[in-house]
Amino acid sequence: MYSVYCYTDPAWFSAYVDSDRCFYSFAFTDAMPKLNTNNEEVIEYFCKVCEDWIRKFDIDGIRFDVGNEVSHRFLKRIREHLKAVKPDLYLLGEIWHDASQWLQGDEYDSVMNYPLLSGIHDFFLDKTMKKEEFEYMVNRCYTMYMQQNNDVLFNLLDSHDTERLMNRFHDLDKFYQQLAILFTLPGSPCIYYGTEIAMEVLLNASNEKVKGSGEVLFAREFDGDILGANGTLIRRI
């Protein structure tokens, strides 16, 4: 994928044709050029940007979108730089597959555990799937990494890149069962905003979000009961 975009220093970009002033971009978006993250000036620039956010706003963490498309050199350098500024800064990578090469202790602190999310959803969607297959899936997810990685994996059931949990199942019983699984597995459970009240997106007949409706449906009807039940579930586990 590439787009036409004005640049000042060709070395900043991952690929370009100088005569046409073209370079690769993410998702055909002109304002999102693919930078050469092995370039020293690029590394220094983003180290400074992230440091400014820490010093000015005391942020606690940074999530790297499409975290597998950033060079290892970049990540090692930015980790070293930022941890010197704030040692407990949390560096999270968005990676949808086996991310063991980014979890060697010198790049990300953790990654979003999408393989586990997919496995849990598959079990509750596929009525032919046996409990032994579910057990195999969980074991497969946790044998990809070392134990110290498993203890801090960013476990989730939905996010801005997936269907909401209630939209996928429309079933409070399955909703609670999956939350119970999430809370009892190794790692750091993450609740996507609205999932604490079983929020569901309002869809039209074409399975598209209704314009202007926001994310509301079940939140209106079950707000208090679901929030209280989730609080009880968390406390008991």
User: Does the annotation count 133 as an active-site position?
Assistant: no
Residues 6+ away with beta carbon under 8 Å from 237: 180, 183, 184
Strand stretches in the chain, DSSP E? 2-4, 16-17, 22-24, 61-64, 90-93, 110-111, 154-156, 188-190
> Is there a contact between 165 and 180 (Cβ–Cβ < 8 Å)?
no
Pull the structure tokens for residue 180: 């119970």
Element at 150 (helix H, strand E): helix 147-150
Which residues partner with 13 through β-bridges?
A: 35
Q: How many Å apart are CA 237 and CA 225, to the nearest integer? A: 18
User: Does the annotation count 88 as an active-site position?
Assistant: no
Pull the structure tokens for residue 142: 């946790």
Distance of CA 83 to CAs 80, 87, 101, 214, 216, Å?
Answer: 5, 4, 20, 38, 39
> Is there a contact between 23 and 11 (Cβ–Cβ < 8 Å)?
no
Which is it for strands 22-24 and 2-4: parallel, antiparallel or unpaired? Answer: antiparallel
Active-site entry in 44, 52, 65, 69: 65
Residues 6+ away with beta carbon under 8 Å from 193: 199
Could you list the active site residues?
A: 65, 94
